[in-house]
């Protein structure tokens, strides 16, 4: 009998990570393969072939594939949004120019800050007559002649990717849908996104940009998903049976997955696909280990992504950005910093050592890969310091220590430092870059980073774990088993999620119960219809309801859960009361006692959830002492050269304790344990790193 195998596959900048689960036995298999930036689908299929061969199975065993992709992310980070057109309401053609007044890094830099380039040049904006009021009622009818003229303009100019955002269309989508029909008739080859489909939420600038980003990434996402789907279809084509299409899910930024058939209609939901998977995988690992509140650090080849997990769930935001573009879709609150293993070290014109954000990526990669790289990277620094073994992936990727050392000599000479000191400086800068990113998701959100454990994963995520404990005052670090594959594992732990939102700005004292019920019911029907298309039976579907509230006069909102069950005036009073508490937790104060200060409701949200079977977190056998896992020793630089024991992590068991200086090695990652630190293996195989003076009793 064929064993059903479900696969999670995460494409990173340097490696493609793969985790397979046998749905009958729960057994996990993991592997990695080099990414192929020129065509990510090649690395994707190579990863699937590799893990199936490892299991001794064919493609006919595939029961489903879940994928985290960086196609949309990379396109936006590289600002590849050319040949894009914008249609908006007559008189509002400068909405992208006006944008917002917010200034990065505070107003101290305002004299030196210039607004980023528009996503669409002014000469590619067209306006259409017609006007809706804030409540969606029609002030002036949709003007067909001006709509046809706009469509003709874009067709003649060869602009085939178009975003449409009319004033107040979140309240009434009829004008935008009419514009889409005109474009379909006159310019049928155009790829069109309308804001009432992408984001039915007020704030015209953010809604416009979000819609344009959706349009910009739609052609690439559609082509990529179609290419992957065609390749997956070859696995199940046999001479004796009808071809069976492998269910293919794509990770969304909100922490859920969506079928490939659906995601091509909402491609913007994938812009933080990979980082979201990692945060979710880390949350599952941390919760099993007994930590409900952690910060996560996903170190890859190109960048490091950090997030915060509270009560076992990653924090969400609708105020995120990707590159220079604001995006108001729900996404896991991730901060990205250019501190991956391939991030390059360089000297500024003033002679200051810098690291990143430029990366050597997968091709040519770090100097030590021997593939033509010409700039030293963080990986090269770790190799020179002896903190990495002479190979990666169990010997599949040999590392040339001499090439790394030669590359560091130039920087070391210019800084009048030894090679070890220069390498330590590179590593130290990368650690502080990661620490600053972790502060952004904690301290800037009103959280004390010292209250958290850190979960590190990714190929390079654990290389500076001990330094982060010192820099941030963390309680400790959790390193999961197979840390290089946590993002791919996370893809197997998530459900299908569809988010729907509607703006309905109303003061709490004027809230109409029947109106709110009607909107929530409409959103629930939309979510239910999406889950029906995804094939989930009614008895397993779940719905989460939330509302965005603020104090009247404030510009931004706080999200609060709506209780289950029928909605009533008493329910809404409970929600308003919960808002006061959430506001205090976030900002340190509330205005509950001020009877003059009203609460205002802004957005209503419903998320439809279709549950997917998740792999169990397995326990590891009891250890017989860490000494049994020692494979040798080598010279490693920790402020000075010391003889450090090398441990094979696969041979460590529950209860074993590794005392630094040491290096723990495994297939997908390496964990240096500095002097003064120890790492204890818990019953799930996680390494719990603490200072030896803080270690105390084993964690239960």
Residue 686: other Cβ atoms inside 10 A: 26
- The overall average pLDDT reported for the chain is 88
Q: What is the mean pLDDT of residues 125-138?
A: 95
Q: At what angle do helices 465-472 and 419-441 cross, to 10 degrees?
A: 60
How many whole angstroms separate alpha carbon 506 and alpha carbon 519? 13
Last residue of a domain, one of 206, 241, 270: 270
pLDDT tens, residue by residue, 631-676: 999 999 999 999 999 999 999 999 999 998 999 998 878 999 999 9
Q: What is the mean pLDDT of residues 545-562?
A: 93
Closest CA to 153 of 95, 197, 93: 93
What's the whole-model pTM score? Answer: 0.82
Last residue of a domain, one of 209, 237, 270: 270
Residue count (the chain): 700
Q: Are residue 176 and residue 212 in the same domain, yes or no?
A: yes
The dihedral formed by the CA atoms of 232, 235, 241 and 245, expressed in degrees to the nearest 10? -20
How many whole angstroms separate alpha carbon 542 and alpha carbon 54? 37
How many whole angstroms separate alpha carbon 472 and alpha carbon 450? 7
Closest CA to 66 of 240, 206, 334, 256: 256
How many whole angstroms separate alpha carbon 114 and alpha carbon 528? 45
* Pairing label, strands 62-68, 248-251: parallel
Instruction: Calculate ∠ Cα 434-435-437, nearest 5°.
Output: 65
Domain count, the chain: 4
Residue 359 is predicted with a pLDDT of 79
pLDDT tens, residue by residue, 412-469: 999 999 999 999 999 999 999 999 999 988 988 888 999 999 999 988 889 999 999 9
Residue 654 is predicted with a pLDDT of 95
Do the domain assignments include residue 131?
yes
Q: Are residue 251 and residue 201 in the same domain, yes or no?
A: no
Q: Is the peptide bond before 443 cis (omega within 30 degrees of 0)?
A: no
Whether 603 contacts 200, CB under 8 Å: no
Structure tokens at 153: 């303009």
User: In the predicted model, is pLDDT for residue 103 greater than 70?
Assistant: no
Residue 425: other Cβ atoms inside 10 A: 18
Q: Are residue 141 and residue 196 in the same domain, yes or no?
A: yes
**For the ranges 78-87, 117-126, 290-299, 551-560, which has the lowest average pLDDT?**
78-87
Residue 240 is predicted with a pLDDT of 43
Q: What is the mean pLDDT of residues 557-575?
A: 93
pLDDT band at 691 (very low <50, low <70, confident <90, very high): very high
User: In the predicted model, is pLDDT for residue 107 greater than 50?
Assistant: no
Helix, coil or strand: residue 395 = helix
pLDDT band at 502 (very low <50, low <70, confident <90, very high): very high
Residue predicted with more confidence, 28 or 175 = 175
Residue 283 is predicted with a pLDDT of 92
Do the domain assignments include residue 205?
yes
Residue 417 is predicted with a pLDDT of 92
**For the ranges 349-353, 478-482, 547-551, 694-698, which has the lowest average pLDDT?**
694-698
Which whole-number Å values give the CA distances from 103 to 115, 117, 595, in the listed order?
A: 9, 14, 34
Specify the DSSP class assigned to residue 462. T
Closest CA to 664 of 471, 458, 390, 463: 463
How many whole angstroms separate alpha carbon 357 and alpha carbon 343? 6
Q: What is the mean pLDDT of residues 240-268?
A: 81
| Residue 255: partners with Cβ closer than 8 Å, 6 or more residues away | 276, 279, 280, 313, 314, 316, 332, 494, 497
How many whole angstroms separate alpha carbon 428 and alpha carbon 15? 24
Residue 697 is predicted with a pLDDT of 39
How many whole angstroms separate alpha carbon 132 and alpha carbon 192? 21
- Identify the domain containing residue 18 by its residue range: 5-76+221-270
Helix, coil or strand: residue 122 = helix
The dihedral formed by the CA atoms of 254, 257, 263 and 269, expressed in degrees to the nearest 10? 10
Q: Are residue 120 and residue 248 in the same domain, yes or no?
A: no
Instruction: Calculate ∠ Cα 76-441-686, nearest 5°.
Output: 100
How many whole angstroms separate alpha carbon 294 and alpha carbon 679? 18
pLDDT tens, residue by residue, 490-500: 899 888 888 99
How many whole angstroms separate alpha carbon 135 and alpha carbon 502? 12
Which range, 101-105, 116-120, 208-212, 667-671, has the best average confidence (pLDDT)? 208-212
Q: What is the mean pLDDT of residues 233-243?
A: 59
Q: Are residue 60 and residue 164 in the same domain, yes or no?
A: no
Do the domain assignments include residue 480?
no
User: In the predicted model, is pLDDT for residue 1 greater than 50?
Assistant: no
Q: Are residue 126 and residue 170 in the same domain, yes or no?
A: yes
- In percent, how much of the chain has pLDDT > 90? 53
Do the domain assignments include residue 283?
no
Q: Are residue 98 and residue 190 in the same domain, yes or no?
A: yes
Specify the DSSP class assigned to residue 368. G
- In percent, how much of the chain has pLDDT > 70? 93
User: In the predicted model, is pLDDT for residue 237 greater than 70?
Assistant: no
How many whole angstroms separate alpha carbon 358 and alpha carbon 336? 13
Helix, coil or strand: residue 259 = strand
Residue 114 is predicted with a pLDDT of 64
Do the domain assignments include residue 475?
no
Structure tokens at 403: 């090439």
pLDDT band at 343 (very low <50, low <70, confident <90, very high): confident
DSSP element (H, E) containing 16: strand 15-22
Closest CA to 271 of 70, 566, 506, 92: 70
Q: Are residue 66 and residue 129 in the same domain, yes or no?
A: no
Q: Are residue 22 and residue 111 in the same domain, yes or no?
A: no
E-only strand ranges, 56-199: 62-68, 84-89, 125-128, 131-132, 138-140, 161-165, 191-194
Do the domain assignments include residue 411?
no
Residue 529 is predicted with a pLDDT of 94
The single residue listed with the structure tokens 């939102």 is 501
Q: Are residue 595 and residue 518 in the same domain, yes or no?
A: yes
Residue 232 is predicted with a pLDDT of 87
Closest CA to 66 of 263, 314, 237, 214: 263
pLDDT tens, residue by residue, 85-99: 999 999 999 998 888
Closest CA to 319 of 573, 559, 74: 559
User: In the predicted model, is pLDDT for residue 695 greater than 60?
Assistant: no
How many whole angstroms separate alpha carbon 426 and alpha carbon 362? 20
Q: What is the mean pLDDT of residues 502-513?
A: 93
Do the domain assignments include residue 390?
no
Closest CA to 668 of 491, 485, 489: 485
How many whole angstroms separate alpha carbon 632 and alpha carbon 404? 23
CATH code: domain of residue 569: 3.30.1490
Residue 380 is predicted with a pLDDT of 92
Name the β-bridge partners of 192: 162
User: In the predicted model, is pLDDT for residue 110 greater than 60?
Assistant: no
Closest CA to 93 of 134, 132, 121, 135: 121
pLDDT tens, residue by residue, 193-226: 999 999 998 889 999 999 999 999 999 899 889 8
Do the domain assignments include residue 662?
yes
Residue predicted with more confidence, 446 or 127 = 127
Q: Are residue 183 and residue 237 in the same domain, yes or no?
A: no
Last residue of a domain, one of 610, 639, 660: 610
Name the β-bridge partners of 28: 21
pLDDT band at 395 (very low <50, low <70, confident <90, very high): low
User: In the predicted model, is pLDDT for residue 694 greater than 70?
Assistant: no
Q: Are residue 72 and residue 117 in the same domain, yes or no?
A: no
Residue 78 is predicted with a pLDDT of 67
pLDDT band at 394 (very low <50, low <70, confident <90, very high): low
């Amino acid at each position: 009998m064929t064993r059903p195998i479900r696969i999670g596959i995460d494409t990173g900048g340097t490696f493609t990570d793969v985790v397979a689960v046998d749905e009958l036995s729960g057994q996990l298999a993991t592997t990695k393969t080099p990414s192929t930036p020129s065509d990510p689908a090649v690395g994707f299929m190579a990863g699937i072939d590799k893990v199936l061969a490892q299991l001794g199975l064919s493609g006919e065993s595939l029961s489903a594939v879940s994928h985290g992709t960086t196609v949309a992310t990379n396109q936006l980070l590289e600002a590849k949004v050319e040949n894009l057109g914008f249609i908006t309401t007559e008189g509002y053609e400068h909405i992208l120019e006006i944008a917002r007044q917010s200034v990065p890094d505070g107003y101290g830099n305002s004299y030196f800050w210039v607004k980023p380039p528009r996503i669409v040049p002014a000469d590619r904006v067209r306006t259409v007559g017609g006007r809706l009021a804030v409540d969606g009622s029609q002030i002036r009818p949709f003007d067909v002649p001006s709509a046809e003229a706009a469509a003709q303009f874009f067709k003649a100019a060869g602009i085939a990717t178009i975003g449409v955002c009319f004033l107040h269309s979140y309240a009434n989508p009829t004008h935008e849908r009419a514009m889409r029909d005109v474009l379909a008739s006159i310019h049928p080859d155009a790829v069109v996104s309308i804001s009432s489909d992408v984001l039915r939420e007020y704030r015209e600038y953010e809604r416009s940009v979000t819609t344009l980003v959706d349009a910009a990434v739609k052609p690439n996402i559609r082509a990529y998903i179609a290419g992957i789907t065609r390749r997956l279809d070859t696995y199940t084509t046999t001479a004796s049976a009808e071809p069976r299409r492998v269910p293919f899910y794509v990770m969304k930024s909100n922490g859920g997955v969506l079928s490939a058939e659906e995601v091509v209609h909402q491609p913007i939901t994938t812009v933080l696909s990979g980082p979201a998977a990692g945060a979710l995988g880390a949350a599952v690992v941390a919760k099993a280990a007994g930590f409900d509140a952690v910060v996560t650090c996903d170190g890859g080849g190109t960048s490091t992504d950090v997030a915060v997990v509270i009560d076992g769930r990653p924090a969400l935001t609708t105020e995120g950005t990707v590159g220079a573009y604001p995006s108001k879709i729900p996404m896991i609150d991730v901060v990205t910093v250019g501190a991956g293993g391939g991030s390059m070290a360089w000297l500024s014109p003033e002679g200051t050592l810098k690291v990143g954000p430029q990366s050597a990526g997968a091709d040519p990669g770090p100097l030590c890969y021997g593939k033509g790289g010409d700039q030293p990277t963080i990986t090269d620094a770790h190799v020179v310091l002896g903190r990495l073994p002479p190979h990666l992936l169990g010997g599949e990727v040999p590392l040339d220590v001499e090439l790394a050392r030669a590359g560091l000599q130039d920087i070391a000479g210019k800084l009048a430092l030894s090679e070890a000191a220069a390498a330590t400086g590179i590593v130290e800068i990368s650690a502080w870059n990661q620490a600053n990113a972790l502060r952004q998701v904690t301290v800037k959100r009103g959280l004390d980073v010292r209250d958290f454990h850190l979960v590190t994963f990714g190929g390079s995520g654990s290389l500076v774990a001990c330094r982060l404990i010192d820099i941030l005052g963390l309680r400790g670090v959790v390193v999961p088993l197979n840390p290089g594959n946590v993002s791919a594992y996370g893809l197997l732990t998530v459900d299908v999620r569809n988010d729907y939102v509607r703006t309905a700005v109303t003061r709490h004292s004027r809230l109409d119960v029947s109106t709110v019920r009607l909107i929530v019911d409409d959103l629930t029907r939309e979510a239910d219809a999406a889950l029906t298309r995804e094939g989930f039976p009614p008895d397993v579907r779940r719905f989460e309801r939330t509302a965005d509230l603020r104090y009247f006069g404030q510009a931004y909102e706080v999200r609060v859960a709506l209780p289950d069950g029928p909605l009533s005036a008493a329910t809404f009073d409970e929600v308003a009361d919960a808002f006061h508490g959430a506001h205090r937790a976030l900002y340190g104060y509330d205005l509950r006692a001020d009877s003059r200060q009203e609460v205002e409701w802004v957005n209503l949200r419903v998320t439809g959830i279709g549950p997917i079977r998740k792999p169990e977190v397995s326990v590891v056998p009891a250890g017989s002492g860490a000494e049994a896992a020692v494979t040798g020793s080598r010279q490693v630089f920790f402020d000075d050269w010391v003889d450090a024991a090398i441990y094979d992590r696969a041979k460590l068991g529950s209860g074993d304790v590794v005392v630094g200086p040491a290096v723990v090695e495994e297939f997908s990652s390496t964990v240096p344990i500095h002097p003064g630190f120890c790492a204890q293996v818990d019953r799930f195989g996680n390494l719990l790193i603490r200072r030896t003076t803080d270690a105390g009793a084993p964690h239960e």
